[in-house]
Structure 1
Amino acid sequence: MAKVFPSYPRPLRFEGRDDKEGPKWLVRNTDKEIQHYSSFTIRPLNPVIGAVIEGVDLSKPLTARLKEEINEALLEWKVIFFKNQDITSEQQIAFAQNFGELEVHPFYKAPENRSDKVVQFNRNKQQKGYENIWHSDVSFREEPPKAAVLRLIHVPPVGGDTLWADMGAAYDNLPEDVKTRIDQLKALHDFTPAFSHLMSAEELLEKQQQFPAVAHPVVRTHPETGKKLLFVNPSFTTRIIGLEEAESEELLRFLFRQTHIPEYQVRFHWEANTVALWDNRATQHYAVSDYFPYHRKAERVTISGDRPY
């Protein structure tokens, strides 16, 4: 008797498949060859996203040229890593301030007696992480962050990697009919699905009044590179404006799955005293929660951004 395999649902309204075999159209945020930098050495981790910067000491102030080149590398590779950086929280803050004003996270509290610009993630078997969902940080704000600086202080002996996905590559590889369909659409972003469990009903109502759901374009334009980027994420994007609920849900599921494609990703294995700087406008990230009961401690500083257009 022939074996019957289960049928898995696929989007019904899309001619293209997001999981089709064969080469992907992968370009960096520049059409040029890999850039060379005078202030440091750069080691790409794959052809499209992620690079290690060597020869920079983040405990020291940045020169104007070094700051310019780090920003160029960030635009080119979307997430860049600095290893062997034994720096303090204050030095991490000073480094982040080179790239813009800093902001306070609306739900995470800073460690006691520390700057409110620092968010600490101190995860162990008592406080398990829940960042293992693809997301763009705080996209529910009218002006989501430009970038973030994460410093790993304590790493588990195994596990605890973080993945980033290039949302420019994700957009570039969408079927043309899907691009046409979504280019002028807007979607609602809301903190409630991700953070409501952290507060009482009264606190939730207060925060919803302070941070009401906001509409952002499904496809945003990068303010520095001009590149089109897919800008929806399963943490905060709740529905597409102007579509029926079922159609919105189907389209969002299809778009969310683009981050799952390995060709658009870099997976980084942390070492203690490694610092990551990522472009929150151009990426989504996913912190793998596979290291319990081991301990993982990190601190993050967030750089303010502008309204997506």
Structure 2
Amino acid sequence: MTVTATGPSTVLREARVPGDGLYEGRRVLRRLPEGWQERPYARFEVVPQARTIGAEIRGVDLSRPLAPALREELNRALLEWKVLFFRAQHLTSAQQRDFARNWGELETNPLLAAGSSDDVVRFDKGAGAAPTYENVWHTDVTFRERPALGAVLQLREVPPFGGDTLWADMAAAYDNLPREVRDRIDGARAVHDFIPGFARFYGPERLLPHQDLFPPVEHPVVRTHPETGRRMLFVNTSFTTHITGMDRDESDRLLRFLFQQAHVPEYQVRWRWQAGDVAFWDNRATQHYAVGDYGSRRRVAERVAVAGDRPF
């Protein structure tokens, strides 16, 4: 077979990839809202864990009552870092609840197993445990009219490896959306429903009793943080079903693209748990993902959630 040699090409072939994907390139990584005055912390040490989200707090004993000044400084850290980590606290359930109450009333979740009281959710994972799955990017309880402000999670037992949790900064996700996408979703609303998320591991007989208690609700696709004024993407794979007033195929395509934004590593922080660690996150500003890589090994966590407000 004879091959005829030719000279170098003079026209670059088309560089085509499927649309609506995530691509490489520089990303805007802005931790604080515009105009926010950053100040030093006086009552504890802050150890950043990632560029825009996640900080370890050192020098605070969460088992003790919080003085008002300490509570206010911790709240500022929460707003600035979105998720705070505290090593080796080993709180009782009552102490965990007392800490969370500094941010408001506690909420209950009848769809999940309770711990020592109705407002403590207990995740006991291991061989023979009832299945629930949190290894998907989600924001807690957006199927409520007033989704949780935040949550306090403590790991009581950790597997020998695995079981990390990741959080994603949804303000950074919004900042980096293409302009044409932001123009489409600013002012849009989406429907949230508990059924899709919980139907992954519960049958109809478990879900039907709660169907009237938790009817579908609408929230803005882009939420404004009530304390910082920051704009944040507010849709998630577990509970957002469709964008109001949009053709279903178009809504599905746009939501798939928006759901992907939490997957960008530059917007994330990952925490490797030790027994007794506590994480406190701003549920208004983040999504999270519990990594399910520990098989039949046991992982026990307890979560207390703080009731929130109506998104706007």
TM surpasses 0.5: yes
How many Å separate the matches in 1 of 2:63 and 2:69?
Answer: 17
Whether 2:125 is the aligned partner of 1:123: answer yes
How many Å separate the matches in 1 of 2:17 and 2:111?
Answer: 37
Whether 2:278 is the aligned partner of 1:278: answer no
How many Å separate the matches in 1 of 2:39 and 2:160?
Answer: 35
List gaps (5 residues or longer) in structure 2. Answer: 1-15
Counterpart contact for 2:33–2:229, Cα < 8 Å: no
How many Å separate the matches in 2 of 1:43 and 1:34?
Answer: 15
Whether 2:101 is the aligned partner of 1:92: answer no
How much does 1:109 deviate?
A: 3.0
Of residues 42-51 and 119-128 in structure 1, the stretch that sits farther from structure 2 once superposed is: 119-128
Match of 2:29 in 1: 26
Of residues 197-206 and 177-186 in structure 1, the stretch that sits farther from structure 2 once superposed is: 197-206
List gaps (5 residues or longer) in structure 1. Answer: 1-6, 12-16
Moved over 4 A (4+): 31-34, 197-200
**CA-based RMSD:** 1.6
How much does 1:136 deviate?
A: 0.3
How much does 1:71 deviate?
A: 0.4
How many Å separate the matches in 2 of 1:171 and 1:199?
Answer: 32
Of residues 203-212 and 255-264 in structure 1, the stretch that sits farther from structure 2 once superposed is: 203-212
Give the counterpart letter for 2:43 in structure 1. Answer: S
Match of 1:77 in 2: 81
2:211 is paired with a residue of what secondary structure? helix
Whether 2:166 is the aligned partner of 1:189: answer no
Match of 1:141 in 2: 144
Mapping 1:226-241, distance limit 5 Å = 226-241=229-244
How many Å separate the matches in 2 of 1:286 and 1:8?
Answer: 28
Kindly, what percent of the aligned residue pairs are identical? 56
How much does 1:62 deviate?
A: 0.5
Whether 2:46 is the aligned partner of 1:42: answer yes
How many Å separate the matches in 1 of 2:245 and 2:84?
Answer: 37
How many Å separate the matches in 1 of 2:196 and 2:89?
Answer: 35
How much does 1:79 deviate?
A: 0.3
Counterpart contact for 1:143–1:304, Cα < 8 Å: yes
Match of 1:4 in 2: none
How many Å separate the matches in 1 of 2:255 and 2:221?
Answer: 10
How many Å separate the matches in 2 of 1:79 and 1:197?
Answer: 27
Match of 1:169 in 2: 172
Q: TM-score, normalised by structure 1?
A: 0.91
Q: TM-score, normalised by structure 2?
A: 0.91
Counterpart contact for 1:129–1:289, Cα < 8 Å: no
How much does 1:205 deviate?
A: 3.2
How many Å separate the matches in 1 of 2:164 and 2:202?
Answer: 28
How many Å separate the matches in 2 of 1:157 and 1:199?
Answer: 28
Match of 2:11 in 1: none
Alignment equivalent of 2:226, drawn from 223, 227, 243 = 223
Give the counterpart letter for 2:19 in structure 1. Answer: R
Whether 2:258 is the aligned partner of 1:255: answer yes
Match of 2:63 in 1: 59
How many Å separate the matches in 1 of 2:209 and 2:177?
Answer: 39
